[in-house]
Amino acid sequence: NSLLSLNPHLCWLDLWAFEATAVELEQALSVSGQQQIIDKLTDRLLKLYRGAFLKNNDSGLVILTQEQLLNKLCRLLDRVINVYQASGAHERVRHLLHQQLEYKPLVENNYRRLMRHYANQGQLDEALQIYRQCQRVLCQGFNMQLSSDIQLLLKQIQSQIV
């Protein structure tokens, strides 16, 4: 096996830029009053993440790196979403929740958070659409059982429809 090393002063890699942006975003999230910086870094992070790293490679190390990057992105998005929810930036919250669902469509919690967001905004039809999407993907597509939490949320939303 031969090793390849790249000089960071001469080369630019999406992976390096993603990692550096993630670190900057973590730092901005730990300080209050950094909304504009958080906006900019979140946008940059989403542009840098173009899907799975080395998509056509099935080596264990590559698969592990793919999962680590996606998990890091989703953890950061969770934190950013919480900041936006606290500041009342509902459009931004909705956009990021949809992004997160697109990245991890097999995680029920992503559907639940988006349903709750729509319900809190009074957009009950949209909340029900997300539930139906969840049911199609998880139940019909992957034969997974939905949790009692999402079923309870569905009943709460249905009870609000008059």
Q: Helices 35-48 and 90-103 meet at what angle, rounded to 10?
A: 30
126: which residues sit within 8 A by CB, 6+ positions away? 118
Average pLDDT of span 83-91:
96
Exposure b/e, 124-148, CB count within 10 A at least 16 = b: bebbbebbeebbebbeeeeeeebee
Cα→Cα distances 137→42, 67, 121, 145, 146, Å: 27, 21, 24, 11, 11
Average pLDDT of span 35-48:
96
Token digits of residue 155: 């009943």
Cα→Cα distances 23→38, 110, 131, 154, Å: 12, 24, 34, 37
Residue 143 confidence (pLDDT) = 96
Q: Helices 14-29 and 35-48 meet at what angle, rounded to 10?
A: 160
What number of other Cβ atoms are within 10 A of residue 88's Cβ?
8
Contact 61, 34 (CB under 8 A): no
Average pLDDT of span 36-49:
96
Name the E strands within the chain. Answer: none
| pLDDT, tens digit (0-9, with 9 covering 90-100), for 101-139 | 999 999 999 999 999 999 999 999 999 999 999 999 999
| pLDDT, tens digit (0-9, with 9 covering 90-100), for 12-32 | 457 889 999 999 999 999 998
Residue 151 confidence (pLDDT) = 98
Residue 12 confidence (pLDDT) = 46
Q: Which pTM does this prediction carry?
A: 0.86
Residue 148 confidence (pLDDT) = 98
Query: pLDDT tier at 91 (50, 70, 90 boundaries)?
Result: very high
pLDDT > 80? residue 3: no
Helices and strands (H, E) in the chain, number of each type: 8, 0
Residue 11 confidence (pLDDT) = 54
| pLDDT, tens digit (0-9, with 9 covering 90-100), for 43-67 | 999 999 876 555 665 656 767 878 8
Residue 9 confidence (pLDDT) = 54
